[in-house]
């Protein structure tokens, strides 16, 4: 049985996984954005990444472990959905070069969120989950051999390119193609479009900053210059007009989280 034939029955279990997964992803990004906006306003705390967001959820009194467990299940569902997209081609991207590249992106996303789901599980079980900048850690491992500087630089260019693609999706409204917007009123469709655009622009900014730092880390063979999401947000805080930049991106990431939750409800599967 080929992948296309397997995809038909797979939609039965892929659809609920996608809906739960997008919702969990949205919650994590809303926490990341909320913490960034709070830091920008000077209300305490600091901008952090998705692992920091999980830690914040886990610190909630009486319900922290429960919240982590729920988010862990949701992230695991999202991993399942991403792998199904990649392997079974549920979005019908095809087997040409472009389609395979998109499906490889789904696979990479699934692997990344698998690590985040594992961190949530470790935290829920009472173990220390992460805490170190995973991008900087990976960069240090890659640059243990200085001859691999080009690999880090190439990843930086790729991440920055992914950021530009977020801007393109926001401008072109491409993100609407897989949404059943006919279920919404005209006002609802406009709201989804605005929230999606704001969220994608904020995500594009963070990707661009991460890519810039990775490029510099590779060119200078210095893993200390690499930054993950948390480091990118803190770098924005240190720039000219930093509080405004960080606050705007924080609000944008909250919008991206809201859009992911909406996507969990309206996403067309297959």
The whole-number pLDDT of residue 257 equals 97
Q: How many domains does the chain have?
A: 1
Segment 101-126, tens digit of pLDDT: 999 999 999 999 999 999 999 998 88
Residue-wise pLDDT for 203-218, tens only, equals: 999 999 999 999 999 9
3-state SS class at 190: helix
Instruction: Compute the chain's Rg from CA coordinates.
Output: 19
In tens, the pLDDT along 176-201 reads: 989 999 999 999 999 999 999 999 99
CA atoms of 75 and 5, how far apart (whole Å): 27
Which is more confidently placed, 5 or 157? 157
Kind and range of the H or E run holding 88 = helix 64-88
Name which of 29-38, 58-67, 190-199 the model is least confident about. Answer: 58-67
pLDDT over threshold 80, residue 1:
no
Q: Of 22-36, 175-189, 249-263, which range is least confident?
A: 175-189
Q: Which structural domain, as residue segments, surrounds residue 77?
A: 3-266
| Nearest-angstrom CA–CA distance, 180 and 164 | 25
The DSSP-derived string for 117-172 is HHHHHHHHTTS----S-HHHHHHHHHTTSGGGHHHHHHHHHHHHHHHHHHHHHHHH
Residue 179, SS3 per DSSP: strand
């Amino acid at each position: 049985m080929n992948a296309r034939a397997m995809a038909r029955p797979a939609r039965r279990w892929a659809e609920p996984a996608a809906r739960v997964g997008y919702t969990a992803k949205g919650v994590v990004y809303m926490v990341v954005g909320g913490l960034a906006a709070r830091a920008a306003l000077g209300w305490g705390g600091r901008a952090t990444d998705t692992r920091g967001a999980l830690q914040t959820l886990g610190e909630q009194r009486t319900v922290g472990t429960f919240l982590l467990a729920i988010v862990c299940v949701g992230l695991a569902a999202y991993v399942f959905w991403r792998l199904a997209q990649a392997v079974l081609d549920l979005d019908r991207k095809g087997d040409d070069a472009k389609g395979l590249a998109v499906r490889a992106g789904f696979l990479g996303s699934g692997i990344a969120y698998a690590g985040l789901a594992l961190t949530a599980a470790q935290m829920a079980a009472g173990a220390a989950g992460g805490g170190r900048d995973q991008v900087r850690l990976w960069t240090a491992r890659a640059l243990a051999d200085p001859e691999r500087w080009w690999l880090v630089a190439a990843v930086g260019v790729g991440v920055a390119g992914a950021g530009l693609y977020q801007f393109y999706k926001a401008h072109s409204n491409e993100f609407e193609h897989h949404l059943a917007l006919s279920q919404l009123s005209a006002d609802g469709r406009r709201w989804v479009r605005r929230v999606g655009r704001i969220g994608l622009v904020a995500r594009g900014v963070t990707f661009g900053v991460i890519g810039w730092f990775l490029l510099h880390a590779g060119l200078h063979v210095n893993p200390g210059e690499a930054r993950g999401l948390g480091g990118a947000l803190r770098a924005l805080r240190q720039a000219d007009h930093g509080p405004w930049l960080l606050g705007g991106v924080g609000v944008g990431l909250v919008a991206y989280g809201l859009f992911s939750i909406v996507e969990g409800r309206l996403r067309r599967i297959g």
